[in-house]
Structure 1
Amino acid sequence: MNILVCIKRVPDIAGSVTLDDTGAGIDEAGLGHTMSSHEECAVELAIGTAAATGGTVTVLTVGPAEAVEQLRAAVAVGANDGILIETADPAAFGPEDIAQVIGDVVRDRAESGQTFDLVLLGDDAADTGDFQVGIRLAYDLGYPVLSNIQTLSPTDSGGIEARGIGPAGTEIFTVDLPAVIAVHEGGVDPRYPSITGRMKAKRAPIAEYDAPEPSAGNPRIRLELPEVKQSSVTVLGEGPEAAPALVDVLEEIGVIRP
């Protein structure tokens, strides 16, 4: 089973997040870069599925030249090769444009003899949260699509069994290939690269192409940061002297009766 995994270079937002002057993006000044956690899990699922079926894993990204770092990070943990669709202004590409670019790559590779049985993406990217590319890509290719998936396993019939968490609990789907699946984190733990993997990644082939001009553009007007909830702490006292105050609090919140 040959698998294409689509990833995105995003700012590492482990710390506080601020918006840029336009309000439509994250201020990346001083931030490192990584791939989204959903996509890290998609890479892990792809590697395991390809290994079980004797297939290959190709990673693709639409982004700046520096995004080759994320492609090689995926190769370091087990992917075979990468595709960089380079653009100096990735923010100009909306979800419809990204889906179109990926669809064109899938079609072009099929014409040259390389078919992808499965296309994996993250449910959404950590910087924009669009939740759209997987659905739009499946529509463009005419493939069945699943989202919010956490684990995959090949079926005896050549398809894929996919599991995810839905409103009522675990949901199980069986889908024929080719298909598009959007992955949600939590089902697997992404592996860490070995020294051998890092050395392999430096030599791995990365095909580079220039991105076309976006046709739809980015419709995002602005992002909003949720209001930070303020919290406070009241010190009841120290040692045994704090016991009466603690009892008063427990009575107030109904843990004990007066």
Structure 2
Amino acid sequence: MADVLVCVKRVPDDSGEVVLTEAGDAVDGRYAGYTMSAHEECAVEIAVDVAGASGGEVTVLSLGDENCEEQLRAAVAVGAHAAVRVDAEADAFGPGDVAAAIAAVVREKESAGTGYDLVLLGNDAADTGDHQVGIRLAHLLGRPVVAGAQNITVAQGRAEVRAGTATGTEVYELPLPAVVTVLEGGVQPRYPSITGRMRARKTPVEVVDPGVEPRGSGRLGLRVLPPPESRVEVLGQGAGGAVRLAEVLRELGVVR
């Protein structure tokens, strides 16, 4: 039996134009809406599969105010069993603070008799691009960690983690308990059913104190890069453009 904790973050929906706050230190989601990242959606999917195959349970956790319960319930709707919200002002917490708050919850649950064989997180924060929380959490808990996982299987107290790289797939075998950060693309997140949505609305969200005093991220600001320049070349009109089109296709290596 493998019990899994999945950590998710309420982030602005980046499917449209990215707009920064007036202070320039965060992404403004007031107009785009909020969601959880694709990395975390895949982490939830993996957690539900791992727990379901072993008879374990999935707990989903987020740090923030009441608004982040929307993301917690979204995870419950697709198979998570329980939800925990660390009641805190998320903007005041840097990556190290978030890792410390999650570690405090994990230790508190362990002392109460509830241990997590796997702690899953998104590979990075979708709004700020931090790649730190999973590594910092593993260090605080003294657990092995793999970053960029795309699939996980658990058997006989060990986890086999597959991570995609530029040169292929790397396979790691970890003793449990362990921490893994998930990169999107390895699994297809499921859609919530009507029954799942109804269960999510009824599932209580446990609210806990962060247990740490935040020090902040030290971030000075964010910058939105300008869109890449585009150039249009008119090859010609009608049959007269065919020769130039053939030349361009040869330049691109499409034809010889």
Compared CA separation, residues 168 and 212, structure 1 to 2 (3 A): same
Determine the C-alpha separation between the residues in 2 that align with 1:197 and 1:145. Answer: 31
**CA displacement at 1:245 relative to structure 2:** 4.0
- Quote the residue 2:114 is aligned against: 114
**CA displacement at 1:205 relative to structure 2:** 2.1
Determine the C-alpha separation between the residues in 2 that align with 1:21 and 1:179. Answer: 39
**CA displacement at 1:210 relative to structure 2:** 3.8
- Quote the residue 1:22 is aligned against: 23
**CA displacement at 1:114 relative to structure 2:** 1.0
CA contact (8 A) 2:11 2:29 kept: no
Gaps of 5+ in 2: none
- Quote the residue 2:137 is aligned against: 137
Determine the C-alpha separation between the residues in 1 that align with 2:240 and 2:251. Answer: 19
- Quote the residue 1:174 is aligned against: 173
Compared CA separation, residues 75 and 235, structure 1 to 2 (3 A): same
**CA displacement at 1:224 relative to structure 2:** 2.0
Provide, for residues 24-71 of structure 1, a one-character-per-residue CA deviation record: whole Å limited to 9, x for no partner.
111223111110111100000000000010000000000121100000
Q: Does 1:207 align with 2:232?
A: no
TM-score between both structures, scaled by the size of structure 2: 0.93
**Structure 2 counterpart of 1:84, one-letter code:** R
CA contact (8 A) 2:94 2:214 kept: no
- The CA RMSD measured in Å over matched residues stands at 1.9
TM-score between both structures, scaled by the size of structure 1: 0.92
Compared CA separation, residues 203 and 242, structure 1 to 2 (3 A): same
**CA displacement at 1:9 relative to structure 2:** 0.3
CA contact (8 A) 1:7 1:60 kept: yes
Provide, for residues 139-165 of structure 1, a one-character-per-residue CA deviation record: whole Å limited to 9, x for no partner.
11111111111101112x321111001
- Quote the residue 1:91 is aligned against: 91
Compared CA separation, residues 142 and 224, structure 1 to 2 (3 A): same
Determine the C-alpha separation between the residues in 2 that align with 1:250 and 1:186. Answer: 31
Provide, for residues 94-115 of structure 1, a one-character-per-residue CA deviation record: whole Å limited to 9, x for no partner.
0010001000000111111111
**Structure 1 counterpart of 2:49, one-letter code:** G
Q: Does 1:102 align with 2:105?
A: no
Determine the C-alpha separation between the residues in 2 that align with 1:21 and 1:228. Answer: 20
**CA displacement at 1:17 relative to structure 2:** 0.8
Deviates more, 1:210-219 or 1:90-99: 210-219
- Quote the residue 2:196 is aligned against: 197
**Structure 1 counterpart of 2:142, one-letter code:** G
Determine the C-alpha separation between the residues in 2 that align with 1:117 and 1:160. Answer: 9
Which 4+ residue blocks in structure 1 deviate beyond 6 angstroms? Answer: 251-257
SS in 1 for 2:84: strand
CA contact (8 A) 1:92 1:214 kept: no
Determine the C-alpha separation between the residues in 1 that align with 2:122 and 2:52. Answer: 20
Determine the C-alpha separation between the residues in 1 that align with 2:86 and 2:232. Answer: 50
**Structure 2 counterpart of 1:107, one-letter code:** R
**Structure 1 counterpart of 2:190, one-letter code:** R
- Quote the residue 2:183 is aligned against: 184
**CA displacement at 1:249 relative to structure 2:** 4.6
Determine the C-alpha separation between the residues in 2 that align with 1:148 and 1:182. Answer: 6
Determine the C-alpha separation between the residues in 1 that align with 2:61 and 2:136. Answer: 17
SS in 1 for 2:14: coil
Determine the C-alpha separation between the residues in 2 that align with 1:18 and 1:147. Answer: 28
Deviates more, 1:195-204 or 1:163-172: 163-172
SS in 2 for 1:116: coil
- Quote the residue 1:40 is aligned against: 41
Compared CA separation, residues 230 and 97, structure 1 to 2 (3 A): same
How many residue pairs align between the two structures? 255
